[in-house]
């Protein structure tokens, strides 16, 4: 039997390849770019300075790290003690440490009530996300005819959920469909703290804090990172070092990776997949193809429509993947001062080791989203900023720092103009917005780059510029990701599978979709050999 082909050497494709290789299946990975990692890459922005090109934090599962022996490949991760820093308009800055006791002490000057409620909020969140772990850590069961093993998985998940008790189950059922702004308001009175919670619920989403279902997206983020306002984890050497470790794990187990090998189409006959054709015209035979590309790209660009049922193709067309995130990377002289941090009593190097949120109340985030509804870049986007050079000095020379910035909302489709002509204005807007909390920033910038949603589509293969391969909404999660009836990584075409973030459990640098897909593909191929 020919070796399986994996389309794309993003982190999920590499995880899938490593697991399949360890099972003796020797997959061939075809990567269109000249480097592996997909969105998890590190590149040089100016001589001697490297930046996380797109993703700046990772949440690779502990089971993936253990199974693939990534720690022996030199993978080193750092988890700063601070979750988020939120400068406010009154000249202060709210700093939320990762630890519960430290967070209570930090919140007390802002609100005695919020400080008192924080431990219960953390405990409730952790209880729900730990129970969700049984669901996130398994391939969704077949809806039509679940196998005995799938029924056992469901029973185990049911026992986890039952362990939540009556109140926990009530919270899970009630919270999921809620707007994240409503949940934050129920628990807290400090606007900056509410904004910090809301930001995790709308990150990467074409939704505002008052959009229904954003609490479900927040729960998914909290489950990945283990903290209600996010817990930054960075890789020494940038995310590209993680991709390099995954590539070594895959190739040392027997996988082959070919760079600059762009797949133009997937060849299919009446029996299913036959292989792929590269843009050079080269044909590579295979009876199993696993696509790490997003569902829209896979089915609408690589597969001839004649091989898809019209109803399924319509489902894919309706799958929502409209990106709203732009990425700006900056190199600066020195560490920019942040307004209000002096009063926090925390050293700036410690306060900025986590995330910096520019947008200090839920309504500010919601107003930023309003612009997107009308096809406009937000006048005052909210920003998520990290300073990876604080925890990884290898990224920049002494005296310089790297700022990695997500800007939201930047709609993929603009009503007027286009991103090619608006890229420079977007960069200026983001710098000006960040300068509101970093007053000396503009004079400190040495170099920068701007990645619009269109750039994310062109350069990273993200259809619609969507960083998660599709919205994290209730109708596009679990057994409905990417579409109802096809959430087990298999597709209507025999031998064609999906392993990217457009499958369960979704986006984020977890590696879970790739690991799940490898289990499904391995089982099918072993059955075919028997």
The per-residue pLDDT for range 392-437, each reduced to its tens digit, is 999 999 999 999 999 999 999 999 999 999 999 999 999 999 999 9
Query: 404, 410, 408, 428: which is closest to 356 by C-alpha?
Result: 404
Range of the domain at 188: 101-225
Q: Is residue 306 part of a domain?
A: yes
User: Prior bond to 482 cis, omega within 30?
Assistant: yes
For residues 148 and 221, membership in a common domain is answered with yes
Final residue of a structural domain among 163, 198, 225:
225
Q: In which band, very low, low, confident or very high, does the pLDDT at 165 lie, cut at 50, 70 and 90?
A: confident
Q: Hey, what are 521's tokens? A: 């593909």
pLDDT per residue as tens digits for the range 215-234: 999 999 999 999 999 999 99
Q: How far apart are the first and last CA of the chain?
A: 12
Asked if residue 300 lies in contact with residue 316, where contact means CB atoms within 8 angstroms, the answer is: yes
How many domains is the chain partitioned into structurally? 2
pLDDT value at residue 164: 83
Q: Which has more confidence, 71 or 328?
A: 328
Question: Residue 410: inside a domain, yes or no?
Answer: no
Asked whether residue 383 is domain-assigned, the answer is no
pLDDT in tens, 101-142: 999 999 999 999 999 999 999 999 999 998 888 788 889 887
Q: What pLDDT, on the 0 to 100 scale, is given for residue 1?
A: 55
Structure confidence at residue 102 (pLDDT): 97
How many of the other CB atoms lie within 10 Å of CB of 198?
33
213 and 282 housed in the same domain: no
pLDDT for position 88:
96
**Rounded distance between C-alpha atoms, residue 47 and residue 395, angstroms:** 11
Whether pLDDT at 329 is above 70: yes
C-alpha pair distances (Å), 215 with each of 226, 420, 477:
15, 34, 13
Same domain as 303, residue 200: no
Mean pLDDT over 179-184 rounds to 98
Residues paired with 257 in a beta bridge: 29
Contact between 495 and 130 under an 8 Å Cβ cutoff? The reply is no
Residues 186 and 255 in one domain: no
pLDDT(58) > 80: yes
Three-class SS state of 356: strand
Residue at which a domain ends, from 190, 225, 260: 225
pLDDT band at 530 (very low <50, low <70, confident <90, very high): low
* Gap between the Cα atoms of 309 and 231, Å rounded: 43
Would residue 473 count as lying in a domain?
yes
pLDDT of residue 72: 86
Residue 492: other Cβ atoms inside 10 A: 17
Helix (H/G/I), strand (E/B), else coil: 85? strand
Q: Is 335 part of any domain? A: no
Q: CA–CA separation, 510 vs 15, rounded Å? A: 10
Beta strands of 8-150 (E only): which ranges? 28-30, 42-46, 49-52, 77-78, 82-87, 93-97
Say which CATH number the domain at 511 has.
3.50.50.60
User: Do both 209 and 105 map to the same domain?
Assistant: yes
C-alpha distances out from residue 408 to 307, 383, 413, 424, 461, Å: 37, 6, 14, 16, 20
Among candidate residues 448, 479, 357, the one with its CA nearest the CA of residue 46: 448
Q: Is residue 373 part of a domain?
A: no
Give the residue, 528 or 184, on which the prediction is more confident.
Answer: 184
Beta bridge partners of 384: 357, 406
| Pick from 392, 352, 383: nearest CA to 240 | 392
Whether residue 277 is contained in a domain is answered as yes
- Report whether pLDDT(144) > 80: no
CA nearest neighbour of 490 among 263, 288, 250? 288
Percent of the chain at pLDDT above 90?
A: 87
Q: Which of 225, 260, 280 is the last residue of a domain?
A: 225
DSSP letter at 92? Answer: -
Is the same domain home to 266 and 204? Answer: no
448-485 b/e with 16+ CB inside 10 Å = b?
bbbbbbbbbbeebbbbbbbbbbbbbbbebbbbbbbbee
Burial class (CB in 10 A: 0-12, 13-18, 19+), 374: exposed
Q: SS3 for 435-493, per residue? A: HCCCCCHHHHEEEEEEECHHHHHHHHCCHHHCCCCCCCCHHHCHHHCCCCCCCCCECCC
What's the pLDDT at 155? Answer: 74
Find the mean pLDDT for residues 273-286: 97
pLDDT category of residue 345 using cuts at 50, 70 and 90? confident
Whether residue 108 is found in the same domain as residue 220: yes
Q: Sheet of 400-408: strands edge to edge?
A: 93-97, 82-87, 355-358, 382-386, 400-408, 325-333, 445-451
- Residue 455: inside a domain, yes or no? no
Are 442 and 431 in contact, with CB atoms under 8 Å apart? Answer: yes
């Amino acid at each position: 039997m020919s070796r399986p082909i994996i389309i794309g050497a993003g982190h999920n494709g590499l995880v899938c390849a490593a697991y399949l290789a360890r099972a003796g299946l020797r997959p061939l990975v075809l990567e269109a770019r000249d480097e592996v990692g997909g969105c998890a890459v590190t590149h040089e922005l100016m001589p001697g300075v490297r930046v996380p090109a797109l993703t700046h934090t990772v949440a690779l599962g502990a089971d993936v790290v253990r199974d693939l022996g990534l720690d022996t490949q030199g993978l080193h991760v750092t988890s700063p003690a601070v979750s988020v820093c939120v400068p406010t308009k009154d000249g202060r800055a709210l700093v939320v440490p990762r630890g519960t006791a430290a967070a209570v002490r930090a919140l007390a000057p802002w609100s005695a009530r919020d400080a008192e409620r924080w431990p219960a909020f953390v405990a409730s969140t952790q209880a729900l996300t730990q129970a969700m772990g049984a669901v996130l850590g398994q391939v969704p069961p077949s809806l039509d005819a679940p196998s005995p093993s799938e029924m056992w998985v469901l029973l185990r998940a049911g026992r986890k959920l039952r362990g939540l008790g009556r109140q926990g189950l009530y919270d899970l059922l009630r919270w999921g469909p809620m707007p994240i702004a409503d949940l934050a308001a129920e628990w807290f009175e400090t606007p900056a703290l509410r904004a910090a919670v809301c930001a995790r619920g709308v990150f990467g989403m074409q939704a505002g804090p008052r959009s229904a279902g954003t609490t479900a997206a927040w729960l998914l983020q909290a489950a990945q990172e283990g903290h209600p306002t996010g817990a930054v984890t960075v890789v020494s050497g940038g995310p590209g070092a993680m991709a390099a470790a995954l590539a070594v794990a895959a190739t040392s187990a027997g996988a082959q990776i070919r760079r600059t090998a762009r797949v133009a189409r997937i060849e299919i006959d009446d029996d299913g997949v036959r292989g792929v054709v590269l843009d050079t015209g080269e044909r590579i035979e295979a009876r199993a193809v696993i696509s790490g590309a997003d569902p829209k790209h896979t089915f609408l660009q690589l597969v001839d429509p004649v091989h898809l049922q019209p109803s399924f193709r319509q489902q894919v067309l309706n799958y929502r993947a409209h990106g709203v995130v732009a990425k700006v990377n900056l190199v600066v002289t020195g560490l920019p001062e942040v307004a209000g941090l002096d009063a926090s009593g925390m050293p700036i190097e410690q306060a900025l080791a986590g995330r910096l949120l520019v947008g200090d109340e839920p309504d500010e985030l919601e107003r930023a989203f309003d612009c997107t509804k009308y096809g406009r870049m937000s006048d005052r986007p909210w920003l998520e900023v990290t300073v990876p050079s604080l925890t990884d000095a290898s990224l920049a020379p002494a005296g310089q720092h790297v700022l990695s910035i997500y800007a939201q909302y930047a709609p993929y489709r603009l009503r007027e103009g286009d991103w090619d002509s608006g890229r420079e204005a977007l960069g200026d807007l983001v710098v000006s917005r960040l300068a509101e909390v970093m007053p000396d920033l503009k004079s400190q910038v040495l170099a920068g780059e701007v990645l619009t949603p269109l750039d994310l589509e062109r350069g990273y293969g993200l259809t619609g510029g969507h960083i998660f391969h599709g919205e994290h909404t209730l109708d596009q999660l679990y057994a409905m990701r990417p579409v109802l009836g096809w959430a087990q990584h298999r597709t209507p075409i025999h031998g064609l599978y999906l392993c990217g973030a457009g499958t369960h459990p979704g986006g984020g640098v977890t590696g879970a979709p790739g690991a799940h897909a490898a289990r499904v593909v391995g089982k099918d191929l072993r059955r075919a050999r028997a």
